[in-house]
Amino acid sequence: MLTVRCRGPSAPSPARGRPARNGATRSHPTTGRGHGVTALSDDKPGDGVCAVETRDASKTFTDRKALDGVSLAIRPGEMVALIGPSGSGKSTLLRGLAGLMPFDAGSGPTRADGIELQADGRFDGKVRDVRARIGFVAQQFNLVGRLSLFANVVIGALGRLPAWKGALGLFPPDDRMAAMRALDRVGMAEYAGRRASTLSGGQQQRGAIARALMQGAHILFADEPIASLDPVSARRVMELLSDLNRTEGLTVVVSLHQVDYAQRWCRRVVALKAGRIVYDGPPDGLDRDALVDIYGADIEEVFWDQGAAA
């Protein structure tokens, strides 16, 4: 496999379709059109290290192969969309990259910030420490409904507290102030005292993002974060993720069912089909023919703005 160095998004990037180190680019396997290189860096921390990377990752559930030899490298500060039909492996890949689920035995290493999370189907002993740097936002928000929004957000500091203090809810003043700053950053400070169960879906999702910020994460995985939201709330969540990526350098990897949203907010799109990467490159490389190759007859269902599918 072609190996490329990870760089920040401002540097010339093979993921934007430019030549890699040896001048080679990869073509779309079904259309032949050129697109970016999906590759793993062998660099050590401090030497152009990737934000997150995996090599030859596979995952099998009973008799179904959800991932089949996926290799992916994501540069610090990128905002990357994962797209593909239902069952293509998007959620499985996200959870494995975040260190929440082991890949199969025989899979290569998965690293975050150059630190190994897992390899050969086994978690590394440092996985708990690395997870503290990674935020994960799920489709169903995962807030505790009976707790206030503030309480849900300040919980993000648990990884920095002794276990007994966390169990008693003894968060120091600095953490409480940080929780309010995180809520203010996502536009939810005025709802801090409200029970999470009384908030709208979009408000709860912004609260979940605030919790990830409170956690101190600088890599954020979002698994279909707008799937349960109306279009207006969905746009607000995507605008927030884009703003955090652009202004604070947060690395964002987001799986999306809505292709037009991926094309609008993400500078790089990775498409999966049947557990394999079939496209990795800029959003403008995904014309209708490429999308038909990926989605088949379901192509019209993956656009909220129906005009985008034309």
Residues 6+ apart with CB under 8 A from 230: 201, 202
Q: Mean pLDDT score of the chain, rounded to an integer?
A: 83
Within a domain: 196: yes
pLDDT of residue 7: 55
Encode pLDDT of 232-277 as tens digits: 999 999 999 999 999 999 999 999 999 999 999 999 999 999 999 9
Q: Is the pLDDT of residue 297 over 80?
A: no
The bridge status of strand 64-74 relative to strand 52-61 is antiparallel
What's the length of the chain? Answer: 310
pLDDT of residue 196: 96
pTM recorded for the entire structure:
0.82
CA dist 114 to 40, 258, 288, Å? 11, 31, 37
DSSP annotation string for 160-181: GS-HHHHHHT---HHHHHHHHH
Within a domain: 59: no
Within a domain: 222: no
Within a domain: 297: no
Please tell me the distance from the alpha carbon of residue 14 to that of residue 32, in angstroms, as a whole number.
Answer: 17
pLDDT of residue 5: 56
pLDDT of residue 305: 61
Within a domain: 51: no
Q: Is the pLDDT of residue 27 over 50?
A: no
Q: Is the pLDDT of residue 147 over 80?
A: yes
pLDDT of residue 142: 86
Number of domains in the chain: 1
Encode pLDDT of 207-228 as tens digits: 999 999 999 888 999 999 999 8
Encode pLDDT of 80-111 as tens digits: 999 999 999 999 999 999 999 999 999 999 99
- Mean local confidence (pLDDT), 161-183: 85
- What is the chain's alpha carbon radius of gyration, rounded to the nearest angstrom? 19
Within a domain: 202: yes
Within a domain: 159: yes
Within a domain: 88: no
Please tell me the distance from the alpha carbon of residue 93 to that of residue 131, in angstroms, as a whole number.
Answer: 16
The range of the structural domain enclosing residue 179 comes to 142-207
pLDDT of residue 304: 62
The bridge status of strand 79-83 relative to strand 276-281 is unpaired
